[in-house]
Amino acid sequence: AQSVSQHNHHVILSEAASLELGCNYSYGGTVNLFWYVQYPGQHLQLLLKYFSGDPLVKGIKGFEAEFIKSKFSFNLRKPSVQWSDTAEYFCAVTPGKTGANNLFFGTGTRLTVIP
């Protein structure tokens, strides 16, 4: 069965620090990859997605992620975090060519940014 691992459960950073959140998946075939963010009290929002093409994907709010097929990874990065980035971040995968159907989510990483 497909699984998505996010090894960092809670990350605490000071403002302006760089961020990298890990995401690994276990599926050998074609995958579509997503990062979602959930701000306190709000619904899930899409940060960025990878379907095909350039493995370095740029999303909203200065976030980017790199798909490394050989490592089954899709890590999220931001060069300089802000207090407003405090949120829960979820990596998600859909197998095959199903677009955004059948999303499998990781357990999430809570990011706390200290002013």
Binding site for other proteins (CB under 8 A): 4, 36, 42-46, 49, 90, 99-108
Cα(46)–Cα(43) distance, integer angstroms:
10
Q: Cα(56)–Cα(37) distance, rounded to whole angstroms? A: 18
Report in angstroms how near the CB of residue 54 gets to other proteins at its nearest.
16
Which structure tokens are listed for 49?
A: 């997605």
CB of 64 to other proteins, least distance (A): 18
Say how far apart CA 79 and CA 29 lie, in whole Å: 31
SS3 71: helix
In the bound state with other proteins, the residue whose beta carbon lies nearer, of 5 and 73, is 5
The residue among 41 and 115 lying less far from other proteins, judged by its C-beta, is: 41
Could you tell me the two tokens for 51?
A: 């379907």
| Cβ-based nearer residue to other proteins, 45 or 80 | 45
Identity of the residue, 32 or 75, whose beta carbon is nearer to other proteins in the bound complex: 32
